[in-house]
Structure 1
């Protein structure tokens, strides 16, 4: 569905983009907490399970956030799939990674090779985007036997730097809560139902 910036669809989309990024932020914080336990030597199966789940949620919510941002850029709520979605995410990752590395080896203008940031090829980043989509689908989106063979450790080793660049590049605009938690429409209105009907109640 086509829409214009500022109309009702756009306003609702912005609310849900914010919601999705806050979910992403929450998952990332959970992943950091589990990762700290692993780094401190608490390498139990339960902690590994928590780290895996938090990272899978981080992947899912960041992926959905990026595609929702693209909907807003296009002024169209139609979903992009497969290779088209991969191209959008690859382009976003290229910009985010260049921006994230712009301060690397920074010195006086012209004195260091990376003052404008490290540029990755769009072809290589399409491989990242495809791997991200597959990890999102397998680790979190669908329950299939392939999940047992998904090497999320390998994904982390190869591609985490791009996820981090994409995430950090969006925190200021979408993740800053401020003094009061934002109003998210029906999302934050959910408390009324839970208050009146406790989760453990069956009638």
Structure 2
């Protein structure tokens, strides 16, 4: 890696890890707020992570569909990405939420330099 130091690589990894961790926690907190609770708990017999995956998956679908709708209706801000940016990621892969959760768990630590 010409021009890159080990420290730069570690800092980049830590920044990426922090972003993934905070994004996941932010999405969970939005759902908790909407449900009027401080913690989202699955009903008996269900895995907590399955419920969270469903919530995050539905949010991802809703956000992208809303972006497409606003662009089509001429309601998107001037700086909005081109509609093709959103159309090419639809449908959101069914494993998106599960993959995001797994990546969040994987990068939850940090590296030191």
State TM-score, norm by structure 2: 0.65
Instruction: Find the partner of 1:76 among 6, 21, 37.
Output: 37
1:120 pairs, out of 75, 86, 90, with 90
Number of residue pairs matched? Answer: 93
Instruction: Compute the TM-score of the two structures, normalised by the length of structure 1.
Output: 0.39
Mapped partners of 2:11, 2:57: distance in 1 = 28
**Consecutive unaligned residues in structure 1, runs of 5 or more:** 1-37, 109-113, 144-203
Aligned counterpart, 1:52: 13
- Tell whether 2:58 aligns with 1:91: yes
Q: Secondary structure at the match of 1:43?
A: coil
Q: Secondary structure at the match of 2:27?
A: helix
Where do 4+ consecutive residues of structure 1 move more than 6 Å? none
Deviation at residue 100 of structure 1 after TM alignment: 4.0
**Structure exhibiting the larger radius of gyration computed from Cα positions:** 1
Residue by residue, what CA displacement relative to the aligned partner does 1:2-33 show, whole Å, maximum 9, x if unpaired? Answer: xxxxxxxxxxxxxxxxxxxxxxxxxxxxxxxx
Write the distance in 1 (CA, Å) between the matches of 2:3 and 2:73.
Answer: 41
After superposition, where does 1:83-162 map in structure 2 within 5 Å? 83-101=50-68, 103=71, 118=87, 120-121=90-91, 124=93, 126-140=94-108
Q: Which structure shows the bigger proportion of residues in helix conformation?
A: 1
TM-fit CA distance, 1:50: 0.8
